[in-house]
């Protein structure tokens, strides 16, 4: 259901996941949860980031599904764990620490990530192929608009 909402709202992971993957949640999680997050990341590496992503979607899915697909800003605020949706003391901080604790328990194998990466790579390659074809077709269609300017007239 969350996937359907994000798809219908045209929201791509690049719009919200950078705070999790690139920023390592430094500007998102309160200190106690951040400490546990960083510790888990140092122990499990990038696999923890994927586990955390799944835990975050699980923890926020109920709230996400209250929004219409047109409420893109609110959906992104939830996915980014924005302070407008989640203050640092939200549920006494228990929300964040529980999410990190849950992420540590999610079973996810490296092979699953490799498989997902291969699938996404194929989708991207197909999208790029279609884009190049469309660009070539548009270039072939490019023609003079039949407007003749005085400096283009033949001297015949």
What's the per-residue H, E or C state across the chain?
CHHHHHHHCCCCHHHCCHHHHCCCCCCCCCHHHHHHHHHHHHHHCHHHHHHHHHHHHHHHHHHHCCCCCCCHHHHHHHHCCCCCCCCCCHHHHHHHHHHHHHHHHCCCCHHHHHHHHHHHHHHHHHHHHHHHHHHHHHHHHCCCCCCCCHHHCCCC
Instruction: Say what the pTM is.
Output: 0.72
- The pLDDT tens digits for 39-93 are 999 999 889 999 999 999 999 999 999 999 999 999 998 888 888 877 766 777 7
Mean pLDDT of all residues in the chain?
85
pLDDT at 28 over 90: no
The per-residue pLDDT for 15 is: 85
Q: What's the pLDDT band for 143 if we cut at 50, 70, 90?
A: low
């Amino acid at each position: 259901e969350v996937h359907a909402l994000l798809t219908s709202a045209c929201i791509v992971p690049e719009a919200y996941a950078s705070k999790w993957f690139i920023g390592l949640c430094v500007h998102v999680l309160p200190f106690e949860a951040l400490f546990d997050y960083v510790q888990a990341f140092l122990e499990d590496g990038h696999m923890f980031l994927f586990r955390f992503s799944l835990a975050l979607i699980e923890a926020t899915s109920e709230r996400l599904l209250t929004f219409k697909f047109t409420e893109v800003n609110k959906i992104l605020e939830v996915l980014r764990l924005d302070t407008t949706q989640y203050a640092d003391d939200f549920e006494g901080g228990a929300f964040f620490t529980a999410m990190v604790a849950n992420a540590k328990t999610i079973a996810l194998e490296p092979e699953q990530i490799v498989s997902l990466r291969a699938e996404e790579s194929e989708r991207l390659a197909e999208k790029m192929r279609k884009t190049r074809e469309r660009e070539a077709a548009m270039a072939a269609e490019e023609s003079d608009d039949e407007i003749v300017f005085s400096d283009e007239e033949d001297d015949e």
